[in-house]
A and B are shown apart, each in its own frame.
Chain A
Amino acid sequence: MNCCNSQRTLNDQIQMNLGYSALEEVKDCRYESVTSQLFKKQNEEITSQLSVFQERLIAFAKEHNNDLKQNPDLKIKFLRMCSRIGIDPITLFDRQRHLFDVNDFYYEICLKVIEICRITKDLNGGIISFEELLEGFPTAKIAMEDLEKSVDMLQTLNGGFDIILIKGKKCLRSVPTELTSDQTKILEVCSVLGYASASLLRVNLGWTQYRSNAILEEMVAIGLLWIDEQAVGETLFWDPAWIHHSDIGI
């Protein structure tokens, strides 16, 4: 279209002044079409190259299907390569589904993650650390990377699952309530000793008694913390994520 337009204006120009400048315009137009053709060609080549590469990858995965399934290390390397050239490995696997269990493998993990979240919801208020999630897979050989990938896949379910950071540790939230920044801070305090208390919050965060108590009690109400009334001095509020540390001794 552009070309036609410029052609028309060119004719006008040629009629107006039959000079060198008119010829130059014609040349420009030709150059443009040549460059666009070149680009197009290059584009096609790259796409075909990419598709060839994809096919090679598929062939590779086909050949080493069992290895991919069994060896988490190899799988991570494979997936990393896919992501580097911009191919979502999961869409890659979908093409010949019967060949790849890798995808099924992730779906399985997703299901298991949801299951663990549901079972432990009443125990921890719907927040679970990735370490704890990983402990839910005692039999299958699963690396943290697999788990993270699966949790990423859960995002397509539109909400419900959210990753939050508590003191740099990744946690999965499976209940729809948002954590306020105050609540996150308390959970951060809890990750040191397992519990928080009004005096601990005063010393560390400079909060008043009122503020601490209000937030702590709210967190008990939504099930994120457990009350311990038998400690010396004051009431302690424990993070259920600490249950697994109890083994080691306090």
Chain B
Amino acid sequence: MTTNLPAIYSFPPLYTCQPNALIREQQLTVWCEIIVEFAKKERVWCITAEGTPAKDGGDKQSVFRNDVIQRSVKSTFIEEIWHKMIETEKALRIDSDSNYFILWRSLDSWSALILQWFESSGKLNQVITLYELIEGDETLGCEFHGMDSMLMEKCLLRLRERGRASLLKDQNKVMGVKVV
């Protein structure tokens, strides 16, 4: 896991909350970058508060633990990191459980990307199911392929706010979308 992350990930004091306020600020920024980088490289959409990918079961290692140098981040400091993540809009807290969506693109940017796909592939004015959009063959090369369905819903809601999409719901769950 360390191979893909910046060199500072192997710097032992990164795992201790720094007493110097200026340095701590920098440290938090570095952590945010690491989490985003980690999520982007591994294509993880949703991370638990402890730092493990939410969907792949419990076998994956936490981003906050580095066994190579035997350091891990204390839980109080992890909270501070998440706080910073939300503050800078790089993460989105999921209400139902204590997991977080990692946004390596902003919601607006994601929705713009999806809209672009609709426009360029001629799917305007058609009903597309959420499953097609996420898992379908036609979005295979797209960056949003395989996206968490709840996150996709949030992106599509953005499109609806702009008056570009109408959502089809079944039992309070979004099933399909029509983009105009």
Contact = CB atoms under 8 A, between A and B. Distances in A.
B23 A246 contact: no
Contact of A122 (B7, B19, B23): B23
B12 A223 contact: no
Contact of B11 (A125, A222, A230, A242): A242
A113 interface: no
Given A122-B23, A220-B20, A250-B69, A227 B13 contact: yes
Contact residue range for chain A?
Answer: 20 to 34
A93 interface: no
Interface of A is mostly: mixed
A227 B7 contact: no
Contacts of A230: 12, 15-16, 70-72
A231 B70 CA distance: 8
Contacts of B12: 195, 228, 230-231, 236, 238, 250
B106 interface: no
Contacts of A222: 20
Interface string B7-32: 11111111110111011011000000
A227 B14 CA distance: 9
Contacts of B18: 220, 226-227
Interface string A209-240: 00000000000111100111111000010101
> Chain B at the A interface: mostly helix, strand, loop or mixed?
helix
Interface in B54-95: 68-72
A244 interface: yes
Contacts of B11: 226, 238, 240, 242-243, 246
B10 A246 contact: yes
A122 B13 contact: no
A228 B27 CA distance: 13
A74 B122 CA distance: 58
A122 B15 contact: no
A247 interface: yes
Contacts of B9: 246
Q: Which of A125, A222, A227 has the most CB of B within 10 A?
A: A227
Contacts of A243: 7-8, 11
12 contacts: A220-B18, A221-B19, A226-B13, A227-B19, A236-B12, A238-B13, A240-B11, A242-B11, A243-B11, A246-B8, A246-B9, A246-B11
Interface of B: 7-16, 18-20, 22-23, 25-26, 68-72
